[in-house]
Amino acid sequence: MKLEVRDLSKSFGGNEVLHGISFSVESGNALGLLGRNGAGKTTTIRILMNIFKGNAGSVLLDGKPFDPAKHQIGYMPEERGLYPKKTVSEQLIYLGMLRGLSAKKAKENMKKWLAKMEVSEYENRKLETLSKGNQQKVQLAQTLITDPKIIILDEPFSGLDPVNSQILKDVISEQIQQGKLVIFSSHQMSYVEEFCQQIAILNHGDVVLSGELKEIKREFGRDRLVVSSLEETPEELAHRLRDTFADLLEVEKVQKDRLIIRKKASDAKLKILERLVEQDVDLEFFGMYEPSLNDIFVEKAGDEA
């Protein structure tokens, strides 16, 4: 399956919150839908789920208009939606049946997913008596109870400890390996890097960057180098480089104990290294820049406008 968002726009009153955004994701892959608060992520997801309509543009599945009602979709909203005063089992069975399962199958799937989430012991407990982490695992169990082929996860790791995070990571990875189509929205970039082959970064209602994460990282690091010294602080090294290497490079930023520099020519790397050696700079590291997704996100969506 291939899910495509094409030129999607949405306004509330006179405020346009999506400005013709486009992205796509296929089965067996996960798309990281990223953006700061208010960027348009949740609006996009709600249009995908047909909670409300876009003003223009389209959502297609395998080239045809996408109707969520005709497909099993596992949706885990950021605002969790289970019933705190109902037992775990009765509401999971109810929600499974509401989405088309028989009572027998809903009960069977409920037990399977609670076991996978390691919360079987709470089956007959009211949800409100569980810890936040265990409530989150129950929420993911209901998301997957119908074995959906399309899975949309909005901040699934929010507030989880490392042990519970690992359980959810294992389950989500398994779903991707089984060929599910996953849209994953999170502010926690390490999880996005772990799961997602593709990303789409929203900023003020526009897609400012999208594509294969590996290729995006390669492109962002293409003309940049990392330099650090054993003797000089990053600030001292930056001063040296600005004074004597202005023809070859531009100092972009200090990042912890190292400098990120941009080459001014494709053959500048060797020349920079030769000059540093000539000047007896005691190098700790000199090499290609490999940006994290967090670096890329800050560069593309870090403005305050």
Tokens of 248: 């070859």
- Segment (H or E) for 286: strand 283-288
Bridge pairing between strands 198-203 and 30-35: parallel
pLDDT the model gives residue 286: 93
First-to-last C-alpha distance (Å) of the chain: 37
Task: Tell me how far apart the alpha carbons of residues 204 and 297 are, in angstroms, rounded to a whole number.
Answer: 14
Tokens of 212: 């294969």
132-144 and 103-116 helices, crossing angle to 10°: 140
Residues 158 and 111: beta-carbon distance below 8 Å: no
Task: Tell me how far apart the alpha carbons of residues 248 and 262 are, in angstroms, rounded to a whole number.
Answer: 9
Token pair 């109707």: residue? 67
Q: What is the mean pLDDT of each run of 10 residues along the chain (305 residues)?
A: 95 92 94 91 92 93 92 86 92 94 96 95 95 90 94 86 88 93 89 91 94 92 90 89 89 88 89 90 91 90 63
Q: Give the residue among 117, 120, 179, 118 at the shortest CA–CA distance from 148.
A: 179
Tell me the whole-structure pTM to 2 decimals: 0.85
Residues 39 and 84: beta-carbon distance below 8 Å: no
pLDDT the model gives residue 305: 39
